[in-house]
A and B are shown apart, each in its own frame.
Chain A
Amino acid sequence: MTGTIQHRDTFLENIAQQLGRSPITELPHPTWQYQPQNRVLKDATKDELLEVFIKQCANIHTNIVISDRTKLAHDLQSVVDHYGGKSVITWKDDRFQVYGLSELMTEKWPQANIQLYEWNTQQPEENIRQAEKANIGITISEMTLAESGTAVLFSSKNQGRSVSFLPEKSIILIPKSTIVPRMTQAARWIREKIRNGEKIPSCINFITGPSNSADIEMILIVGVHGPIQATYIVIEDC
């Protein structure tokens, strides 16, 4: 469905008139004189980027666990235990199976009385209800920014937005192969999709640690409207 556009012509004509010309209808993407963003962590290897990423986690109040496929289930279990277990909500995502987490999630958790809810496109209201009461939400980063310690999440019918910000604790899986220097690379990647005519997700989250605020006397409070605690689990996959 295409949306409506109201009062555009007069509005834009007025702007053009103020600028002393007629409205512009064609404009190539500009070539910029400065491009300082290209220099940041320019020749860093994946290992060096991971080091930067780990360091940055200390600044953003986020726990970090370095894991690999052989011990991922074990490491995830430890974090879930540390967060008090109870209830977990996840995306519906094949990657959990690829990472060897199926047994843990569908067999071990029910036995240990940890409730698992998987996002279900058929149950809009139940999704929100479950996300709201879940203790822990688990998501996966599409691209990971070393400089800022940021995970990039894409929404879709199986990847609900609420999974990363309604539960009190957030666990984000970070495949090491997704680590890039900074937001520049993510922006270019997304722009590439747009130029290729791909439809980008309706919501892209650049998440850097748990929610926080310094609105009261400039004192940092970690945990406001979104998660109160966050853990990144890096999966060594490259």
Chain B
Amino acid sequence: MSMKTSNDRFHDRVTKELENQFMRGAVSSAQDRFQTRRLQQAQELGHWEEWRSHGEEIRKHVLENLDYYLYQLSENVAKRGGHVFFAQTAQEATAYIQGIAKKKNAAKIVKSKSMVTEEINLNAALEELGCEVIETDLGEYILQVADHEPPSHIVAPALHKNKEQIRDVFKDKQGYTQTEKPEELALYVREKLRHEYLTADIGITGCNFAIAESGSITLVTNEGNADLVTALPKTQVTVMGMERIVPTFEEMEVLVSLLTRSAVGQKLTSYITTLTGIKDEGDTDGPEEFHLVIVDNGRSSILGGEFQPILQCIRCAACVNACPVYRHVGGHTYGSIYSGPVGVVLSPLLGGYDDFKELPYASTLCGACTDACPVKIPLHQLIHRHRQVIVEQEGKAPVSEKLLMKAFGLGASSPTLYKMATKMAAPAMSPFTKNHTISNGPGPLKAWTEARDFPAPNKNSFRDWMKNRTKGDEQT
């Protein structure tokens, strides 16, 4: 799967997802739970704003000195016997990893959850070579067995599926015979994947934070799958977005504290693992060969510009969990592996406006995302900036908005037309008006009123009201 997950039109995706009742219920209850837990943890920790400011200063500093830290990281990885490959593009990254798979004659590859490998479409590149690629994160595994469905949430990828659907996926694809109880499903997957870890030739991971000073990578999971992926196969490949780096263990610790609280409302997840190079002499588990692939894939063009703060992101999805638009349309509507506010900002930057020009409009600009962000990315301002860029430079505003703006421009620039329009509004809308609201409007109002009511135009226009009011004042 590449970053883009759908070829359907944005509005068709919205319509389809709005009708998905289970998904909408699941998303809203998940959002509530994630949010409650995050807020509880923040309160319990205390001085949350200071923590956010610390997270922000670390991430900003790293971005401003990114070349230095990547240099230091690569030196230290090499010192511990690891190979470092800097990949400017997705193709360079996948070609390099394909090369490793060929050299190792790899038949089976196990993977722990990684957004950047989704972004560069790594699984397809490896499957092309005839490798069997197995996702080991429970949610990701479910989606993979379900014919490679796209993830709908950065942290909980299978959020849109209920347990009965999951049972049926395993039943149809693998002859699963047990019930839909989550414990039974998980035990089934545990047994199934155990064998895969033990027989895989290569283990592939993402990277939550690389540590420049020690040449380590940090992996954060609850399931423990990343530990098995890195302890058992003889070759380990770690793919990281180039910005996912911190100076030392001390900053890693701070960001992990922010990540686990913001992502899942835990003080720490069950497994935080720092891995440094290849296994040590005499070690009998851990990789004999380690490759770190550092991916740019469009990130450097964000650096130095007004969208740079989005690279502060630590992929916790707190913004996704706070977003009122995501709540209604779910993850698949975004058509990108990156959904919610972070996806709205990041997808057009990495994938271009052609594919993602509607996304900046999938926001109310309420700023809930900005408030939730543990590293203080001004998300709603960046979303607003996208809209400005789309209109000013790209001329790619969605058609309905363009028409509306044009009509408003024309109407508002002519006093006579404007007067007529405001006067005409009430009678024109009267067939659609009930109790002062329009619930099934025509034309441009249709899309709006499908999901909510629009206040009916006042029978008195503001200008008429003002005229009468002035008269009234004069009389007293």
Contacts and interface: CB of A to CB of B under 8 A. Distances in A.
Contacts of B256: 183
Nearest to A37: B254
Interface string A204-225: 1111111111111111010111
A156 B67 contact: no
B53 A128 contact: no
Interface in A111-170: 119-121, 123-124, 127-128, 132, 145, 147-150, 155-158, 160-162, 165-166
Contact of B275 (A13, A15, A202): A202
Nearest to B223: A224
A226 B86 contact: no
A188 interface: yes
A196 interface: no
Contact of B223 (A15, A27, A188, A212): A212
B64 interface: yes
Interface residues of A, number: 93
A203 B275 contact: yes
Contacts of A238: none
Given A19-B304, A162-B285, A187 B252 contact: yes
B346 interface: no
Interface stretch (A1-9, A69-77, A78-86, A97-105): A1-9
B186 A216 contact: yes
Given A29-B247, A187-B249, A39 B46 contact: yes
A110 interface: no
A55 to B, nearest CB: 12
B231 interface: yes
What are the 7 A-B residue pairs with the smallest beta carbon separation, nearest first? A226-B224, A157-B282, A215-B139, A124-B284, A187-B253, A11-B86, A211-B224
11 contacts: A16-B67, A18-B301, A33-B54, A36-B47, A40-B45, A155-B280, A183-B257, A194-B213, A200-B276, A219-B163, A224-B222
A219 B223 contact: no
Contacts of B78: 2-5
A35 B58 CA distance: 11
A202 B277 contact: yes
Interface residues of B, number: 111
Given A207-B271, A216-B182, 9 more contacts: A3-B83, A3-B290, A5-B78, A8-B70, A183-B253, A191-B213, A202-B277, A207-B270, A219-B182
B88 A216 contact: no
A139 B79 CA distance: 29
Contact of B81 (A2, A6, A19): A2
Contacts of A226: 223-224, 227-228, 270-271
Contacts of A223: 183, 186-187, 190
Nearest to B55: A34
A221 B193 CA distance: 16
Contact of B250 (A156, A191, A205): A191
Given A5-B78, A29-B247, A36 B303 contact: no
Contacts of A216: 138-139, 142, 158, 163, 166, 182, 185-186
Given A1-B81, A7-B85, A211 B290 contact: no
A36 B296 CA distance: 32
Contacts of B225: 224-225
Interface string A161-197: 1100110000000000000001110111011001000
Interface in B285-306: 285-286, 290, 294, 296, 300-301, 303-304
B61 interface: yes
A194 B249 contact: yes
A218 B253 contact: no
A225 B157 CA distance: 17
A211 B250 contact: no
B284 A225 contact: no
B194 A29 contact: no
A14 interface: yes
Interface string B216-243: 1000001111011011100000000010
Interface string B160-194: 00110010000000000000001101110110011
A15 B268 CA distance: 33
A119 B283 CA distance: 10
A12 interface: yes
Contacts of A5: 74-75, 78, 83-84, 86
Contacts of A120: 284
B278 interface: yes
B278 A188 contact: no
B391 interface: no
B84 A4 contact: yes
A16 B334 CA distance: 32
Given A204-B273, A211-B224, A216-B163, A183 B283 contact: no
A93 B313 CA distance: 41
Contacts of B230: 203
A12 B231 contact: no
B331 interface: no
B224 A224 contact: yes
Interface string A19-48: 110011101011011111101100000000
B231 A217 contact: no
B422 interface: no
B249 A190 contact: yes
A4 B83 contact: yes
A225 B228 contact: yes
Contact of A6 (B46, B58, B84, B187): B84
B57 A32 contact: yes
A209 B79 contact: no
Interface in B53-104: 53-54, 57-58, 61, 64-68, 70-71, 74-75, 77-88, 92, 96
Interface stretch (B25-33, B404-412, B440-448, B468-476): B25-33
Given A34-B50, A216-B163, A191 B71 contact: no
Nearest to B140: A215
B121 interface: no
B293 to A, nearest CB: 10
B145 interface: no
B2 interface: no
Contact of B303 (A18, A33, A59, A132): A18
B273 A157 contact: no
Nearest to A206: B272
